Amino acid sequence: MAVRQKQKVLDTIYAHFKEFELPLDIEYKNYAAIVGAREAVHAISVKRSFKAWKYILHALKKNYPDLLEEPKPEPAPKPALKPAPKPKAPSKPATAEKKSEE
């Protein structure tokens, strides 16, 4: 297949993925259902240009890295609040020891 035709199919699919924010692990049937039968690239064009849908997805990953979902950093865990210290019970006054009679 001509390089221009292959690039045209890839550009069209890239535009659809950007417009509809599709994931890169989507099946062709789901892609066609979301985009619409009239707008979606025909299965015959996919077969002629790339032989299979999986090769188009691979080409998208390779040529358009902006489609890849960037891993979002997980927020740092909030430090656990320490429970307030319990107020100490008033201590008993020290009792003087009884002096033994000497």
Do the Cβ atoms of 24 and 61 come closer than 8 Å?
Answer: yes
CA distance 46 to 31: 12
Question: Who has greater pLDDT, 66 or 75?
Answer: 66
Query: Which range, of 23-27, 63-67, 85-89, 93-97, averages the lowest pLDDT?
Result: 93-97
* Whole-number pLDDT of residue 83: 72
- At 74, the amino acid letter reads E
pTM for the whole thing? 0.66
Q: What is the pLDDT of residues 20-72, one digit of tens each?
A: 999 999 999 999 999 999 999 999 999 999 999 999 999 999 999 998 876 66
